[in-house]
Amino acid sequence: MAISLFTGVWACEVEDNHSPFTGSDGLPSPVFEPVVENLPGKARITYSLPGDNDLLYIKAVYNLTNGREAEVKASYFNNSLMVEGFADTLEHEVKLYAVNRAEQESEPVTVVVKPKKAPVWDVYETLDVKASFGGIQVKAINPNREDVAILIMEQNEYGEWVADPNSIYTSTDTIDYALRGMDTLKHEFAFTIRDRWLNYTDTVYSEIYPFYEAALPKTSYKGVTLPGDAPHHPSTAMANMWDGDIMNWPRIYMTQSVVSGPHTITIDTGVEAKMSRIVIWDYPEYYNGRTYYYLGNLKEFEVWGSNDPPADGSYDNWVKLGTYNATKPSGLPFGQQTDEDYRFAQEGFNWEFDIDAPKVRYLRIRSIKNWGGSTYMAIGEIQVYGDPR
């Protein structure tokens, strides 16, 4: 009975003891000789570490532009940390604490940072929104490749501005995005830029009348082989580009890689139309799962249009609809891709045509350079849009 009583008391004492198991040598000494490097929307603070044996980390505490308190920790293996999330260029106080293994904090050392212009304002100042076929086109520059959201808002039935679920969330440096599926009536939009610290820019308001467009039915597409067109890989067929399968081998179209020089293919859409764009789904190679921006995927290419293609395969009677250069949102090296890269490619690349081009029926895709550095092309699927009225 005595043993049971003793055990119960001991267990109670352990349960009630919430202090750190690690002892300490007293309050740690503070950091010293702090140096500030001001950067866009953030600042790097470099410092000298105290000589305490039980030092665990350095902590920075500060307030963001929006009033929220932020905290950053850096291991004692480092002698610097980054304070981020500022949306202005004003002075901000940052308190630095040395913390030991007993979670005891030193006296604070206060430094003043004065960040440079925040990345959200670069995006805001370069924001360009205009009417597009079937919707709107949003372009902007994000030179620091920061995570940003361009919120595309319309008013609901109560007159409140509500963000479209298909707003732009990206970290790419060159933003070029289209929101489609709209009629040609007037649409009122509002746009604001937000970063991951919930800082917002001012709001831009715009009235836009989208241009009419319709998907040209794939049942009318057929392949045409003109003199000079590239021979195809024997396991693939041109009809695979409009069979509804966007990525699986061999239901793609591939030209023969052994043929040098620019590769050209010709397509009859079956209808004369004011062509607005072509959506191209590249073929994701079986590399590290499925990889886009790779080998035969189109990198530098042209699209041409005609109503009366010459039988000799020349470019007489053809008009150039556009010259294009595919880019990877992440900017990563060849053979590497992020989730954003993958999603962007899997949704299909929208290549807009010259708005001043005449109506055409036939299209030619001319590959100048693929991602692998040669000229053959690998296309999973296409969809052409325009106004056939």
Task: Give one DSSP letter per residue of 339-355, joined into a string.
Answer: HHHHHHHHT-EEEEPPT
Distance of CA 224 to the CA centre of its chain: 36
- In percent, the amount of the chain with pLDDT more than 70 equals 94
pLDDT digits (tens, 9 = 90+) for 147-206: 999 999 999 999 999 999 999 999 999 999 999 999 999 999 999 999 999 999 999 999
pLDDT category, 22, cuts 50, 70, 90? low
Q: Where in the chain is the domain with CATH 2.60.40.10?
A: 20-113, 119-208
Give the pLDDT of residue 207.
96
Give dist(CA 65, CA 115) in Å, integer.
11
Spelled out in words, what is the top-level CATH class assigned to the domain 20-113? mainly beta
**Confidence category of residue 325, pLDDT binned at 50, 70, 90:** very high
**Predicted pLDDT of residue 278:** 98
Give the model confidence (pLDDT) of 82-101 as tens digits.
999 999 999 999 999 999 99
Q: Read off the pTM.
A: 0.76
pLDDT bracket for residue 8 (50, 70, 90): very low
Q: Can you tell me the distance from the alpha carbon of 193 to that of 141, in angstroms, rounded to the nearest whole number? A: 12
pLDDT at 24: 58
Query: Is the pLDDT confidence value at 317 over 80?
Result: yes
Say if residue 138 is exposed, middle or buried (CB neighbours under 10 Å; 0-12, 13-18, 19+).
Answer: buried
Whole-number Å distance between alpha carbons of 172 and 144: 9
Residues 98/55, Cβ–Cβ less than 8 Å: yes
278, β-bridge pairs: 351, 384
pLDDT band at 25 (very low <50, low <70, confident <90, very high): low
Residue 5 has pLDDT above 80, yes or no: no
Average pLDDT over residues 26-33: 94
> Quick one: CATH architecture of 214-387?
Sandwich (2.60)
Mean pLDDT of 121-148: 95
Q: Are 175 and 120 in contact (CB under 8 A)?
A: no
Q: What is the CATH code of the structural domain delimited by 119-208?
A: 2.60.40.10
Sheet holding 135-141, edge to edge: 128-132, 135-141, 174-180
Mean pLDDT of the 265-280 span:
97
Portions of the chain given CATH number 2.60.120.260: 214-387
Cis omega (within 30 of 0) for bond into 250: yes
19 or 363, higher pLDDT: 363
**Interval 63-69 mean pLDDT:** 93
CA dihedral 342, 345, 348, 354 (to 10 degrees): 150
Whether pLDDT at 264 is above 90 = yes
Q: State mean pLDDT over 52-65.
A: 96
Mean pLDDT taken over the chain: 93
Grade residue 26 by pLDDT with cuts at 50, 70 and 90.
confident
DSSP 286-343: SSSSSBSS-TTSEEEEEEEEESS--TT--STT-EEEEEEE---TT-PPTT---HHHHH
pLDDT at 100: 96
Q: Are 193 and 201 in contact (CB under 8 A)?
A: yes
pLDDT of amino acid 23: 55
107 by Cβ neighbours in 10 Å (0-12 / 13-18 / 19+) ranks as exposed
Euclidean distance between CA atoms 254 and 265, whole angstroms: 10
352 contact partners, CB below 8 Å, separation of at least 6: 132, 133, 137, 178, 276, 277, 322
Question: Coil, strand or helix: which one is 175?
Answer: strand
Instruction: State mean pLDDT over 337-354.
Output: 95
